[in-house]
Amino acid sequence: MQITYVILNGVQIPEHEAQLSINDLAIVRGYGIFDYFKTVQGTPLFLEDNLDRFYNSARLMDLPVNYSRTEIKSMIEQLMLANNMPDSGIKILLTGGYSPDGYSIAEPNLIISQHPITRDDLAENKGIKLLPFEYHRPFSQVKSIDYVMGIQALKKAKEAGANDVVYVQNGLLSECPRANFFLVSDDGTLLTAGDDVLQGITRMKILEVAKEHFKIEVRDISLEDLKNASEAFISSTTKNITPVTEVLGHKEFGAGAGTVTKQLQVLLNQLMYELETSE
The stretch near a copy of itself (CB under 8 A) out of 21-29, 37-45, 191-199, 212-220 is 21-29
CB environment 59-91: b (16+ within 10 A), e (fewer): eebebebebeeeebeebbeebbebbebeebbbe
Q: Which stretch binds a copy of itself (CB under 8 A): 67-75, 119-127, 141-149, 214-222?
A: 141-149
Considering the complex, what minimum distance in angstroms separates the CB of residue 7 from a copy of itself? 11
Cβ contact 99:105 at 8 Å: yes
The pattern of x and - marking residues 154 through 193 that bind a copy of itself according to CB under 8 A reads xx--------------------------------------
Rule CB under 8 A: say whether 19 interacts with a copy of itself: yes
Cβ(240)–Cβ(267) under 8 Å?
Answer: no
* Residues numbered 94-113 forming contacts with a copy of itself, rule: CB under 8 A: 95-96, 102-105, 111, 113
Q: Across-strand partners of 32?
A: 95
Instruction: Examine residue 135 and tell whether it contacts a copy of itself (CB under 8 A).
Output: yes
Instruction: Count CA atoms closer than 13 A to 136's CA, side-chain side.
Output: 15
User: Of the two residues 24 and 231, which places its CB atom closer to a copy of itself in the complex?
Assistant: 24
Stretch that binds a copy of itself, among 8-16, 71-79, 193-201, 250-258 (CB under 8 A): 8-16
Of residues 24 and 124, the one with the C-beta less far from a copy of itself = 24
Phi, psi values for residue 268, rounded to 5°? -65, -40
**Part of the chain binding a copy of itself (CB under 8 A), chosen from 79-87, 133-141, 205-213, 248-256:** 133-141
The Cα–Cα gap between 139 and 49 comes to 19
Return the ∠ at Cα 196 (arms to 192 and 198), rounded to 5°.
75
Query: Which residue, 142, 83, 156, is CA-closest to 114?
Result: 83
DSSP string, 115-145: EE----HHHHHH-EEEEEEE---SSTTS-BS
Picking from 85, 81, 76, 79, the residue whose alpha carbon sits closest to that of residue 51 is 76
Cβ closer to a copy of itself: 180 or 261?
A: 180
> Which residue in 32, 97, 243, 258 binds a copy of itself (CB under 8 A)?
32
- Report if residue 15 touches a copy of itself, rule: CB under 8 A: yes
Contacts to a copy of itself from residues 54-93, by CB under 8 A: 61-62, 93
Q: Identify the residue among 28, 40, 172, 271 touching a copy of itself (CB under 8 A).
A: 28
Binding residues (CB under 8 A) for a copy of itself: these are 6, 8, 15-16, 18-22, 24, 26-32, 34, 61-62, 93, 95-96, 102-105, 111, 113, 115, 135, 138-139, 144-152, 154-155
